[in-house]
Amino acid sequence: MDSYHFSSFFLCMITGFLVLIPPYFSTTLASAAAATPQHASEPGAIETGSKNYSKVCDAARFEALGLRKDDFAYCDSSLPYPARVKDLVGRMTLAEKILQLGDRAQGVGRIGLPKYGWWSEALHGIAVTGHATYFGDVVPAATSFPNVILAAASFNESLWKKIGQAVSTEGRAMYNLGHTGLNFWSPNVNVVRDPRWGRVLETPGEDPFVVGRYAVNFVRGMQDVEGTENVQDLDSRPLKVSTCCKHYAAYDLDNWFGVSRLHFDARVTEQDMVETFVRPFEMCVKEGDASSIMCSYNRVNGVPACADAKLLSQTLRNDWQLHGYIVSDCDSVEVMHERLKWLGDTAEDAVGQAMKAGNYCIVGLDLDCGLGNLNYYENYTLSAVAQGKVRESDIDNALKNLYMVLMRAGFFDNIEAYENLGLNDICTKEHIHLAADAARQAIVLLKNNLTLPLDPKKHKDVVLVGPHAKATKAMIGNYEGIPCRYVSPLDSIAKDVRVDYHEGCDVHCRSSRSIRPAVEAAKKAEATIIVAGLGLEVEREELDRNDLLLPGFQTELINRVAEASAGPVVLVIMAGGCVDVSFAQNNPKIGAILWAGYPGQEGGQAIADVIFGRHNPGGRLPLTWYKNEYVDALPMTSMQLRPNDQLGYPGRTYKFFNGTSLYPFGHGMSYTQFSYSRKNDSGIFLPIKVDNHHLCKLPSDKANATVDSHCPSISVDALGCKEEMSFEVDVTNVGKVDGDDVVLVYSKPPKGVADAPLKQLVAFQRVYVESGKTSSVKFSLNACKALNLVEKTAYVVLHSGEHAIVVGDGDSAVSFPVEIELQL
């Protein structure tokens, strides 16, 4: 989505203002606002006449329209939301209804319904992308947190939720000031299948469980209203703001050697769909109560995702019970008609296919987002009804889904707890501190030969080199807002040591001519810090990568500067996707390597804190870092995750990759060392009673056999699945530095189960342990959730036999068996 170019253009228009923003904003934002023009006579979310109002159902607002609020049942707060929405939709003519189906809803003045902009973004802070959000007059900035791929590396669920809470507070404050809507089309929960994908930086990585847990926590942080988190009637549960999990489904290719997301047909097995591609969306809906889902541009097995009845009505609405609306990735309906020419349909056919991607009781696509002035729903639905291709009841159902969400979010009544949020709640010191802490927690130490942390008393003169050494805008990645401030690596490192700065080259690094001054400076310095990597010039929406290498002459820059350096050399990589830095890993002159992702507005401070030892790094890689040869082994268009021996394709992600990586999933070092142990070294035995042998399933590779007295496996849907596995792991800090450790828990299948993952992550916790101390970490896992496998037939099954639980990676890992006995 949705439009990278839209956000880039807007940034260019206001960058001059942006660089003048002072460092701290709790007071300076107010003064900046006072010096700039107001959007209307006074702040407020809903502009009516010459005034702004905080809610639709304001008696004074209706009076200004020449109406009486009490005449409209949709404003009667004593009625349940469904009754109010039914009244609202029932008052509209067919033509009026259709004008509410686009992301810039036109409103109906004669019944008091205002215009509404549905499209805002908040991937890692309130973004400039979208028709409903803007900065520059009353609100000059908002807190910019690390991009998602780096935040995910913290493996800290409470942190993810806190980020969501902070972003939604700023979003709600901006809404009160009339600068954004209540619907934010975030997060991006597509699994990273291929390292070349340009949007890796937007996602939580390659593991569907991690992606799902990130989604649940971020969505809960954004949406939950304190005190109502456990309200069982989801149609009445209020929303702080509304979120949207996207892009559904099997979308992870943008533009690779001419293969475009607008035309790509993702040929996916049902096994991979259930196991990987839709799992985060299921968690987002069922555990996070996401109030919106965005369907993607691509086709899935021949059918456009936004017209796929199985994906939309059957799965989202029936199986998962989505309480919310479905929106198209922008212009997806137009793409179906104009680009794909799917089924040779007319524009009216395309509207009907999308809206009726379900049955006549449950609508498919509710809302059509359009980038330009042509919105297919608004322009072609009336004629589609006239031609008998859409029922008016389909439109009614779509509008009910949309306005139920706005009811829950307080568009009509406001929510008292948030009525007074305003400028002083944006760019607060607490949010700025959280942004810095998030980056610190997430930075990953990839290599360290006793080089880090640097002692600024011993290394007082440092040469700082590289295209990102002075990074500002590059640190915030895409789907970016206007940050409260920028703290570059140069800004922060210069507070600790004397810095001699040399760029060396820009990100593209098309020439080696400017490398020499950096080399000469390195000869004289007591330490060298190189900040290199990728940028939106190389990876972003609509721009996939062709290889995993650093661009241009960056590798030469790093090697020459390292070779000339008189003191220790630290390499910092700023990138979303993985980068093959084998040359640096194998170069003894380069003593340490850090991965800093795109660390947000406070990124420079976080990097300096790690380099100089004020923070002990504890981040872990949320995706495998492959060597560059990986991309030569298979095309990006191959969707299969398991190895394809016939074609010689390796597996994808740590679950199926059968080769050697540069850094594995979960890799991350520390300035200290941790050891694991279990208080109880014995395994776990779980007998599970199966009431009916007909429920037992044979492995799919033995489909023609029959079940005897032994039950080899059973669909988890047929079990109560109440069996729990509880265990404790002692984490001991055996080093000399206090620090955080991420405890990763994997399950491994019984031997002999065909086509199973090598291992799969089932739990994780981040724990702080002081030097010389031990912390006990408790886990309680549902057997069906932790040990299930997805068969080729797409059944999710629990196998009999000896599974294994593995805690940690490498030599420090501990494991124990879990015996599952399915008893007939």
With 90 as the cut, is the pLDDT of residue 609 above it? yes
Q: Is a pLDDT exceeding 50 seen at residue 36?
A: no
pLDDT band at 10 (very low <50, low <70, confident <90, very high): very low
Q: How high is the mean pLDDT of the chain?
A: 93
The pLDDT assigned to 417 comes to 96
Share of the chain above pLDDT 70, in %: 93
pLDDT over 80 at 649, yes or no: yes
- CA 172 to the chain's CA centroid: 20
Report which secondary-structure segment, H or E, holds 675.
strand 674-678
Residue 197 has pLDDT above 80, yes or no: yes
Query: Which residue in the block uniquely carries the two structure tokens 């630290």?
Result: 570
What is the sign of the dihedral through the CA atoms of 119, 122, 127 and 133?
A: positive
**Res 361: pLDDT:** 56
Q: Tell how strand 259-260 and strand 183-184 pair up.
A: unpaired
Q: What is the pLDDT of residue 358?
A: 58
0.85 cut: is pTM over it?
yes
Q: Check pLDDT > 80 for residue 43.
A: no
What DSSP assignment string belongs to 563-606? HH-SS-EEEEEE-SS----HHHHT-TTEEEEEE--S--TTHHHH
Residue with tokens 């420079």: 604
Residue 705 pLDDT > 90, yes or no?
no
Q: Taking residues 223-239, what's their average pLDDT?
A: 94
Q: How many CB atoms lie within 10 A of CB 22?
A: 12
Which amino acid type is present at position 107? G
Q: How confident is the model over 725-734, as a mean pLDDT?
A: 97
Residue 703 has pLDDT above 70, yes or no: no
> What is the average per-residue pLDDT within 603-613?
98
Question: 380-431 pLDDT, tens per residue?
Answer: 999 999 999 999 999 999 999 999 999 999 999 999 999 999 999 999 999 9
Residue 709 confidence (pLDDT): 58
- Residue 639 pLDDT grade (very low, low, confident, very high; cuts 50, 70, 90): very high
158-185 pLDDT per residue, tens: 999 999 999 999 999 999 999 999 999 9
Average pLDDT of the residues in 73-101: 98
Q: Name the nearest CA neighbour of 208 among 682, 689, 757.
A: 757
Residue 308: its pLDDT value, please?
Answer: 96
Beta carbons within 8 Å of 361's beta carbon, 6+ residues apart: 397
Alpha-carbon distance of 100 to 366, in angstroms, equals 10
Average pLDDT over residues 313-323: 95
The residues that are catalytic are 329
Give the other-Cβ count within 10 Å of 383's Cβ.
Answer: 14
Q: What is the pLDDT of residues 264-273, one digit of tens each?
A: 999 999 999 9
Q: What is the pLDDT of residue 28?
A: 36
Reported as a single tens digit per residue, the pLDDT across 449-507 is: 999 999 999 999 999 999 999 999 999 999 999 999 999 999 999 999 999 999 999 99
Q: How far is CA 270 from the centre of its chain?
A: 23
Q: Residues 38-67: what's their mean pLDDT?
A: 84
Task: Let me know the angle formed at the C-alpha of 11 by 604 and 150, rounded to the nearest 5 degrees.
Answer: 35
pLDDT at position 692: 80
The full 3-state SS of 356-389, as one line of letters, equals CCCCCCCCCCCEECCCCCCCHHHHHHHHHHHCCC
731: confidence class by pLDDT, cuts 50, 70, 90: very high
Q: Is 517 left (phi over 0), alpha (psi -120 to 50) or beta?
A: alpha
Q: Give the pLDDT confidence of 286-312 residue by residue, as tens digits.
A: 999 999 999 999 999 999 999 999 999
d(CA 22, CA 394) in angstroms, rounded, equals 51
Which residue, 193, 348, 206, 211, is CA-closest to 264? Answer: 193
